[in-house]
Structure 1
Amino acid sequence: MSETEGRAPEQPGPSDFRDPMTARELKRAAVWLGLGVAIVLVWFLAQPLLLIVGGLVFASMLDGGTRLLGRILPIGRGWRLTIVCLATLGFLVWTGYFAGATIAAQFETLRVVVTEQFNRIADWVQAMGLMPENSADAIGEQVMGSLGRLTSAVGTALGAISSLAMILVIGIFVAIEPRLYERGVAWMLPMGKRQEFYETSAKMGYTMRRLMAGRLLGMAVEGVGTWILLAVGGVPMAALLGILTGLLAFLPNIGAIVSGILLILVGFSAGFETGIWAIAVYLIVQTVDGYLIVPMVAKRSVDLAPALVLGAQLLFGALFGILGLALADPIVAMIKVLLEESSGNNAEEAGATPPLILRPH
């Protein structure tokens, strides 16, 4: 009787990849390992990824302007895009020249006024016994420290300009030939998923264009309206406050709060009546934007709950700084569209009726 006789049949071991169980476990391990590596890469590459997202947001603005111009000017898309880009460049150059030549010196005055008004409020609260004696200085140091951290997050002037230039360049290249990049992404997907990707991409582009159109309209209304009304009421630094209000209007919720605080502090620095006028201006502008501009845009684009947007802003701002704060709203809107389209497609594949998505009338 040989040595091999009477032995049980050999079974594949862990090192034998022909074993179905081993292959299945290796696939699972590879998926989890890839997911972990992806999370680490996203964390370390957050700033470049946000610059790319910012470029896509800017591209949606250019594309929306090109489409809107096509309704009144029947020429080629390339010419319309060139007109929009030149108009955008002209506006940025004019704004930079005006800010540099007219109101650059007012920034230091604004900082002094805000600091003095904050100290007065702290002294009044302390006199009322609502604050311990030494806590006013501590709060002041914390506020100034937060402002310093915010400034450092923005980076140096050169870094901010280079980041803005990257966003502009990416946006222009994507707006010139959006289908090229769309086909490039679809090429990496399975054939069966490409049509679904094209439909989702079209819906996301439509939503982004509507969202940014409403955002730009709100910025213009708030900036120009605040400028004119503050100048009529004799509030100091009306031009600077109008520009800041318009820029801060890009940040829903948080931008309105910051601009309101600035308006009230500067208004009361010139007198009680001027302060009341500044409060009235803030209420009028925010009412027009909140009850006229926002509903008009929201019914044609994604409907985002204010608490959801505010929570996303706080989270993205804490994780990624000022750029994350600025892009939180578009990112949340795109995620919502992606989830809605994915849910609808999954329901269709399962043979069920897609969920009804209620839109405001």
Structure 2
Amino acid sequence: MSALIIVLLILLILFMGNQVSWLFTPLNDFFSIVGLPIILAGIFYYLLNPIVDLLEHKMKINRTLTITGVFIIVIALLVWGVWSLIPVINEQLQSLIKSFPSYVDQFNNVINGLGSHPMFQQFHKEVAHFTDMAASELSQRSNEYIKTTVNSLGSVLGTLTTVAIALITMPFILFYLLRDGDRLPHYIAKFVPTRLQSSFLNVLSEINHQISSYIRGQLTVAFFVAIMFCLGYYAIGLKFALTIGIMAGILNLIPYLGSFLAMIPAVIVGLFISPWMLVKVLIVFAIEQTIEGRLLSPLILGSNLKVHPVTIIIVLLAAGKMFGVIGVIFGIPGYAVAKVLITHLFNWYQTNSDLYETDDGDSEGKQSEKD
């Protein structure tokens, strides 16, 4: 089945669901509470489950004891990482805030220098006029902004409460996922008709493979990307190297677009320091992209998802428009899951429908799963 047909079917399902969105309000309220801890627990499950399996089977350690030990090590590493990185990041952010006025002065000097040239005089006047209008508009709307901020405090507190609940409940969900996760598909299959259980388990296995490959691969690549950018920016003497490098690793979780978004803050800082620093930033970016594209991504990610780059871009644009940042991050694995479901449903329909039978009564052939 072509990628275009799958995308169109997914969009059609979303459109139809939107027409009766009121039916999903209770589900939305439910998932707004339990969705975040389940997603976080799922991510950590795919990261930690191979380690737990290795220790249990290779070293013959009790699974519950293994999970407890892994929990202790992970918590210790997280505490150490936060304790070590937060002061450095905070110091760099404070330095960035203090340096910002000087960056603005440098920008104004560049604009004023261009404004003295006859070619740019009209442009300089328009920029000055726009700046005056923006300042006046900001002054007039300041009270409105303050009221909006005060009114939004309730939603901010609600969000913080949701995050706090997620952080508290997530370890418990993760513990039971690691302990009983392998038995979960067979338990769910009990509610499926007997003759469909085998196919149902195959679908769950394929979905599990798609999600695990994506999560482990993307997080591993993002980790190495953050390290490469941090080392590269430190090597060239770029300010705020650690903060910008970590930001680059996080943005790299967005396929294709993340790499270019990660370059923007480094380019801005390098541009304000000196033209030569900007050149060095671009060199670091070129080296990182070469290593990531030629070595890291093929070695770690491979082609497990079998998704065409054009399909990825379409999914990212659509998911970002509908669900914002969450859609951009989880759009690709969501598409991979939907692709598995739709492909298997289509194959089942193709096998059982008279529309796909040839003259001799045989099926036309299995549906290709390649995009």
TM-score of the aligned structures, taking structure 1 as reference length: 0.71
Measured in 1, the distance between the counterparts of 2:104 and 2:310 equals 28
Give the Cα separation in 2 of the matches to 1:163 and 1:340: 34
Q: Distance in 1 between matches of 2:32 and 2:312?
A: 20
Q: Is 1:263 matched up with 2:266?
A: yes
Q: Decide which structure has greater helix share.
A: 2
1:47 to 17, 32, 51: 32
Structure-2 change in CA distance of 1:262 and 1:276 (3 Å): same
Counterpart of 1:357 in 2: which secondary structure? coil
1:299 to 290, 299, 302: 302
The aligned counterpart of 2:45 is 59
Alpha-carbon distance in 2 for matches of 1:288, 1:155: 42
Unaligned runs of 5+ in 2: 1-16, 139-144, 354-362
Provide the aligned length of Structure 1 versus Structure 2.
320
SS at match of 1:245: helix
2:343 maps to: 340
Contact 1:244 1:259 in 2 (8 A): yes
Q: Deviations over 1:107-155 (max 9, x none)?
A: 24345667876897797599653995355675998xxx9xx99xx8898
Structure 2 equivalent of residue 277 of structure 1: 280
1:6-36 CA-to-partner distances (Å, cap 9, x unmatched) read xxxxxxxxxxxxxxxxxxxxxxxxxx9xx76
The alpha carbon displacement at 1:67 in A equals: 4.4
Deviation at 1:211, TM superposition (A): 1.4
One-letter code aligned to 1:355: Q
- From the superposition, tell whether residues 354 and 162 of structure 1 become closer, same or farther in structure 2 (CA, over 3 Å): same
2:241 counterpart residue number:
238
- Cα-Cα RMSD: 4.0
Point out which structure has higher relative CO (alpha carbons under 8 A, 6+ apart): 2
CA deviation string 1:157-216 (max 9, x = no partner): 565444344445433432221134324433333333322221111111122222122112
Alpha-carbon distance between aligned partners in 1 of 2:84 and 2:291, rounded to the nearest angstrom: 27
Asked if residue 100 in structure 1 is aligned to residue 103 in structure 2, the reply is no
Residue type at the aligned position of 1:356:
S
User: For residues 1-361 of structure 1, what are the structure 2 equivalents within 5 Å?
Assistant: 38-45=23-30, 47-48=32-33, 50-51=35-36, 52-67=38-53, 73=59, 75-110=61-96, 124=111, 128=120, 129=123, 132-133=126-127, 134-135=129-130, 159-349=162-352, 351-358=363-370
Alignment partners' CA distance in 1, 2:167 and 2:74: 14
TM-score (norm 2): 0.69
> What is the match of residue 27 of structure 1?
none
Gap runs ≥5 in structure 1: 1-31
Q: Is the contact made by 1:63 and 1:209 (CA closer than 8 Å) also made in structure 2?
A: no
Where 1:105 maps in the other structure, the secondary structure is helix
1:242 Cα offset (Å) = 2.0
Give the distance between the partners of 1:245 and 1:333, measured in 2 at CA. 25
Amino acid at match of 2:282: I
* 1:234 CA drift (Å): 0.6
Aligned residue type for 2:49: D
- Give yes or no for contact 2:45–2:177 (8 Å, CA) kept in 1: yes
Report the structure number with the largest CA radius of gyration. Answer: 1
| Maintained 8 Å contact 2:221/2:300 | no
Q: Judging changes above 3 Å, is the alpha-carbon distance between structure 1 residues 119 and 39 closer, same or farther for their aligned structure 2 residues?
A: farther
The 3 A distance-change label for structure 1 pair 274 and 68 is farther
SS at match of 1:204: helix
Q: Residue 7 of structure 1 corresponds to which residue in structure 2?
A: none
Tell me the residue number matched to 1:29. Answer: none
Contact in 2 for aligned 1:223/1:243 (Cα 8 Å)? yes
